[in-house]
Amino acid sequence: MSDLLARYEALVAAGELRADPDQRSAAEALGQLEQQLEASDGSGFLGKLFARKPASPRGIYLWGGVGRGKSMLMDLFVDTLAIAEKRRVHFHAFMLEVDRMIRDERAKEAGDPIAPVAARIAQDVRCLAFDEMVVTNTADAAIMARLFTALIVDEGVTVVTTSNRPPRELYKDGLNRSLFLPFIDLIEDKLDVIALDGPVDYRLDRLAGIASWHSPLGDDSTAQVREAFFRLTDYKPEDAAHVPSGSLDLGGGRTLHVPKSLKGVAVFSFKRLCGENRGAADYLAIAQSYHTVIVVGVPVMGPDNRNEAIRFTKLVDALYEHRVKLFVTAAAEPDRLYVAGDGAFEFARTVSRLEEMQSADYMAKGHGAEG
């Protein structure tokens, strides 16, 4: 039995995890990969003598809805993998790093930068583990097939990744998606695709006692959504200053800065989302990219805030239609947010949706547009 599987079964026996056959199957697969990587460790005398990387085992693409245990299994895999040449990184942070390395290589005017970038990444890495592979950036989509072919095929790196979507749904409906399709083919050829998409959202258990709507504005409300963020992302509160940000491709050369972006959870201010000139397409991009959105600082609006109220309505519509979990700090309850001004009567539909989005039934739904 692998160390990973032994640790998993110990957690189940201790009551810290529920027995789940899908999770156990995924743990078995990760455990087998762990043993293969350890058995082919090149740290022995011959490996050092010839300075050659051992043959790389097939990687794993573990996908499923929010709260199915993907991050927990990745934690166990990385913690118990007994090789030095391993690295775990959030996928978005990794691609930002790749962008910087490509710029460095291009500055040398030495031809195609992909191969040297892959070689630099693989220099001390045999296993590269990603949290939450999601592709929203057109530039990233265009280079991923070549980059990962170089990493997996040429450099012999074993890739293990989690994602909320199966490979064929990555970058779905994205601009110039034909450039991205070879990457999907590569994933299906070189990685074992494992679904962990059962009906139980274990992450909801972590939100026990935390409501999704918090008013009035103040320290107590802020503390509640902050706690929700850390529970949903497994990020350590004591390291709050280093929560990564993100950049969301809105198309047409436009991007949206995401102040906090981690594991499919995004944090925005109301001012950023609704105080600036935005349309339905912007909110659709957010709804497609994040399973949970936290919006802070929603004010009470009146006749002078007509545009903000309209944008807020469009935001809620997009999130609702894609079953995104919404956490809010606001100056008032939904039915008191916009009671006077153009469109105030129609705002009642938004109020109804906001109230439904707080329900247990809505919170239990998986992320994605309703079919």
pLDDT at 24: 92
pTM exceeds cut of 0.85? no
* pLDDT over 70 at 151, yes or no: yes
> Does residue 189 sit in the same domain as residue 207?
no
Q: What is the pLDDT of residues 28-87, one digit of tens each?
A: 999 999 999 999 765 544 454 454 455 689 999 999 876 678 888 998 999 999 999 999
Q: 180 and 274 share a domain?
A: no
Domain interval for residue 243? 203-363
Q: Do residues 190 and 218 share a domain? A: no
Split into its structural domains, the chain has a count of 2
Sheet holding 86-90, edge to edge: 86-90, 127-131, 158-163, 59-63, 191-195
Do 290 and 223 have their domain in common?
yes
- Does residue 301 lie in a domain region? yes
Residue 6: partners with Cβ closer than 8 Å, 6 or more residues away: none
pLDDT per position as a tens digit, 240-272: 888 999 888 887 788 899 999 988 899 999 999
Residues 209 and 355 in one domain: yes
> Residue 296: what residue type?
V
Give the pLDDT band (50/70/90) at residue 206: low
The answer, yes or no, to whether residue 308 has pLDDT greater than 60, is yes
- 50 part of a folded domain: yes
pLDDT level of residue 354 (50, 70, 90 thresholds): very high
The residue among 189, 191, 121, 110 whose CA lies nearest residue 150 is 121
Of residues 205 and 132, more confidence is placed in 132
**pLDDT reported for residue 253:** 81
C-beta of residue 127 within 8 angstroms of C-beta of residue 85: yes
Same domain, 165 and 254: no
Q: How far apart are CA 272 and CA 266, in angstroms?
A: 13
In a 3-state reduction of DSSP, which class is residue 199? coil
Average pLDDT over residues 225-246: 88
